[in-house]
Amino acid sequence: MKRMIQTQRGLSTVVATALMLSAVAVLGTTLVLWSNSNLRSYETSLSTTSSSNINRFNEFLVVENVFFCTTNCHGNVALNPPGINITLANYGNIGLNVTQIKVNDTRLVKTFTNAPLLPGKEFFWEGHLNWKSGKLQNITITTGRGSIFMVGVTGP
Amino acid sequence: MRSRRGLSTVVGMVFALIALATSIGYITYSMNTLDQYNKSVIAKNQQTIDNGKETMQLYSVTITNNKFNIAVTNTGYLPINITRMWIQNTTATDWTNYYSINKLVAPGANLINIGQITSPAVYANPAYGYNIKLITSRGNSLQFNMGSPGTKPLFMQLAISPLQTNFASVNETLLYQVTNNLTSNNLLTNIKPILSSAICTGGATLTPTIGPLPAQYPTLPSGSTAIFKWYLTFSGSTTNKCYITASLQNGIASNFAYETVWVK
């Protein structure tokens, strides 16, 4: 009788220990997986934010030349003169996408869906603009990464 | 009992190690990312500083062999790579083009003969006005206008000495000053004076003997003055006067200077 009691007590302890261990293992594993998953998402978020900001930093677009045409806008027959001819150059080390060229805020806005500009390359665009001699024209360029480049030029 | 205590310690240690490894991994990754970000910011900052330090000045501009001959000086502390030259003919309508240069200029050094060797060749007409822009690899530019004095009226004056004379015949010295009073970076080229024939009263005469000296100024930068000198012979009787004007070749017709000399 005494031996039987001892055996039962030992069995329940083993079971309890097994249960406890299982519970700890399951809970611990869940916690570790959950924290890992969270950390992964933080890592991804950090990586995305960091790389997009670094890429935006490295964008280096220059409005290289602005030419005000009166009658013959580079032979562009589709363009009703007078007009403005803008040359953009990518002086950075990464490619960029020109998404919008704006002249004088809302006066002349051109949106591009796909205007890639590789490093060291130029991009020409011209549009109809009734420019006045000696009047300042504000040109704003927006890229696909959200960088904004502004320049002011005066008509001849 | 001793064995169970050991088991729980092992299990705890395993989880602690996993948590520690994950944390260390995350911190290392974050620090690497931040380091890259930091490097990128520093590089951009340096680029911006370099852009600000890049300075060059126009040394001279002439037209040689019907081509532009531009010289610039690197007045900064960094080497400059001049990549491109934009030229707009401001006399003609809608004429603009660009040409590759790709020449390095060391700090303090000059780059000469810009425009002499370009492909295709760039031909310049001394009678025309041009707007020229030199672009560097850092995106900076040096822009200036060059052209004949016929674009805008210039400040000019004529001085003759002696203005009055008691003698029937005297040698006169005439000074003609032309100032480039256009805004900065407006360079005038081929400044050649023209002296009109004197209009005289009575039987007076005013005749140039020597001049102009010098015959021309190839270039006249903004704010500079060109001085031309003539030697003349004036002869006449009492109260006789001579009226003379000076202007510039290819200048504006109404832009001239005048002076009168007379016998007392």
Which DSSP string do the residues of chain A spell out, in sequence order?
-HHHHHHHHHHHHHHHHHHHHHHHHHHHHHHHHHHHHHHHHHHHHHHHHHHHHHHHHH--EEEEEEEEESS-STT-TTS-SSEEEEEEEE-SSS-EEEEEEEETTTTEEEE-SS-EE-TT-EEEEEEE----TT-EEEEEEEETTS-EEEEEEE--
The class that CATH gives domain B57-147 is mainly beta
Q: Which of A17, A25, A62 sits opposite B139 (nearest CB)?
A: A62
Select the CATH number that applies to the domain covering A61-154 from these four: 3.30.420, 1.10.287, 2.60.40, 3.60.90.
Answer: 2.60.40
- Classify the complex by whether its ipTM is higher than 0.85, answering yes or no: no
Q: Select from B115, B118, B134 the least CA-distant residue to B67.
A: B115
Chain A residues near residue B138 by CB distance under 8 angstroms:
91
Substitution target from A9, A15, A91 for chain B, most B beta carbons within 10 A: A91
H/E stretch holding B151? none
Per the document, the length of chain B is 264
Contacts of A12 in chain B (CB under 8 A): none
Closest residue in A to B22 (Cα) is: A36
Closest residue of chain B to A70, computed from CA coordinates: B94
Buried b (16+ CB within 10 A) or exposed e, A41-61: eeeeebeeebeeebbbbbbbb
- Contact of A133 with chain B, judged by CB distance below 8 Å, is answered with no
First and final CA of chain A: distance in angstroms? Answer: 114
CA dist., res. B201 & res. A92, Å (int): 72
User: What are the tokens at B231?
Assistant: 């030697």
Name the residue facing A70 among B14, B30, B93 (closest C-beta): B93
Mutation for testing the A interface, residue in B11, B37, B94, B96 having most A CBs under 10 Å: B94
Please state the rounded mean pLDDT for residues A125-149: 88
**Location of each CATH 2.60.40.10 domain in chain B:** 57-147, 155-263
Write out chain A residues lying below 8 Å of B135, CB-based: 62, 64, 89
**What pLDDT, in 10s, does the model give residues B97-126?**
888 889 999 999 999 989 888 777 788 887
Question: In this complex, which of B26, B37, B88 lies closest to A43 when CB atoms are compared?
Answer: B26
* pLDDT on residue A7: 54
Residues B243-256 have pLDDT tens digits of: 999 999 888 888 99
Average pLDDT over chain B, rounded to an integer = 87
Q: CA B102 → CA B129, B177, B240, distances in Å?
A: 25, 39, 64
Min Cα separation B228/chain A (Å) = 31
The predicted-structure confidence for B68-97, as pLDDT tens digits, reads as follows: 889 999 999 999 999 999 998 887 777 888
What pLDDT shows up at residue B1? 47
Determine, for residues A72 and B94 on separate chains, whether the beta-carbon distance falls below 8 Å: yes
Q: Do residue B94 and residue A71 have CB atoms under 8 angstroms apart?
A: yes
The mean pLDDT value for B211-226 works out to 88
Q: Among A24, A43, A91, whose Cβ lies nearest the Cβ of B11?
A: A24
CA-based nearest residue in chain B for residue A67: B96
Contact between A58 and B88 using a beta-carbon 8 Å cutoff: no
Q: For B24, which residue in chain A has the nearest alpha carbon? A: A39
A50, B86: Cβ pair inside 8 Å?
no
pTM higher than the cut 0.90: no
The superfamily CATH assigns to domain B155-263 is Immunoglobulins (2.60.40.10)
What's the mean pLDDT in B232-240?
87
